[in-house]
């Protein structure tokens, strides 16, 4: 059986190396990424919990089988997000409208509020609901790039590695996604 070694002080890359020698360390990777990736899946699709876990299992199995193919020049988180992104596409879940978009916390609202210059007096709960509604109406590719940028807090470089697109293209996509977001937002609030 798998036991849980002490891995809090280990970096992702160290855990990959250790997992190849001792599969118990792979549990650390799973625990570190399970919730994050589950949220990411919910933010992009409308799958239920069971389906999300199925996708997640496929992602983790792929990660484990391909551990030797991990390129240490890449951030491990970018690599695992890339695998999740590809898995969503191959499952045709990516294009389904109305994602769940789980909880939007204060930090995310703060980032979006400042990025889109949203009215200050509108309360956060209301704003969170509006953001969910507008994001659900966006093209899937635009939704994903905004989720990566503002929800997952990925840099342009990381998004480029996750989506396998040049950084310039990522910048263009973010601009276009923001444009679409603004166009869908109720006018008086931007």
Q: Which residues bind another protein (CB under 8 A)?
A: 1-2, 20, 23, 26-27, 30-31, 34, 38, 53, 56-57, 60-61, 64-69, 71, 73, 160, 164-169
**Nearest distance, CB of residue 42 and another protein, angstroms:** 13
**Nearest distance, CB of residue 74 and another protein, angstroms:** 9
Q: What is the DSSP string of 72-111?
A: TTS-HHHHHHHHHHHHHHHTT-TT-SS-------HHHHHH
**Nearest distance, CB of residue 4 and another protein, angstroms:** 10
Nearer to another protein, 12 or 130 (CB): 12
Nearer to another protein, 61 or 190 (CB): 61
Among residues 176, 175, 123, 36, the alpha carbon closest in space to that of 131 is found at: 123
**Nearest distance, CB of residue 48 and another protein, angstroms:** 13
Among residues 72, 36, 144, 158, the alpha carbon closest in space to that of 59 is found at: 36
Rounded Cα gap, residues 44 and 116, in angstroms: 21
Check if the beta carbon of residue 102 is closer than 8 Å to that of residue 42.
yes
Nearer to another protein, 58 or 130 (CB): 58
**Nearest distance, CB of residue 49 and another protein, angstroms:** 10
Check if the beta carbon of residue 106 is closer than 8 Å to that of residue 114.
no
Residue spans of beta strands (DSSP E) within the chain: none
Nearer to another protein, 60 or 181 (CB): 60
Nearer to another protein, 64 or 185 (CB): 64
Nearer to another protein, 61 or 97 (CB): 61
Report CA dihedral (54, 58, 60, 62) to the nearest 10 degrees: 180
Tokens 């069971």 correspond to: 50
**Nearest distance, CB of residue 187 and another protein, angstroms:** 35
């Amino acid at each position: 059986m798998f036991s849980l070694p002490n891995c809090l002080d280990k970096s992702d890359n160290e855990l990959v190396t250790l997992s190849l020698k001792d599969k118990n360390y792979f549990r650390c990777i799973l625990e570190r990424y399970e919730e994050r990736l589950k949220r990411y899946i919910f933010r992009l699709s409308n799958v239920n919990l069971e389906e999300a876990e199925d996708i997640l299992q496929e992602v983790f199995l792929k990660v484990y089988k391909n551990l030797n193919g991990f390129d240490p020049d890449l951030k491990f988180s970018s690599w695992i997000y890339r695998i999740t992104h590809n898995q969503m596409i191959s499952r045709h879940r990516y294009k389904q409208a109305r994602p769940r978009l789980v909880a939007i916390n204060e930090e995310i609202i703060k980032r979006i509020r400042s990025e889109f210059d949203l009215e200050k007096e509108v309360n956060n709960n209301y704003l969170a609901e509006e953001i969910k509604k507008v994001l659900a109406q966006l093209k899937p590719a635009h939704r994903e790039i905004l989720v990566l940028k503002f929800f997952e807090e990925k840099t342009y470089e990381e998004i480029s590695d996750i989506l396998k697109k040049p950084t310039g293209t990522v910048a263009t996509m973010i601009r276009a996604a923001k444009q679409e977001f603004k166009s869908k937002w109720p006018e008086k609030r931007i």
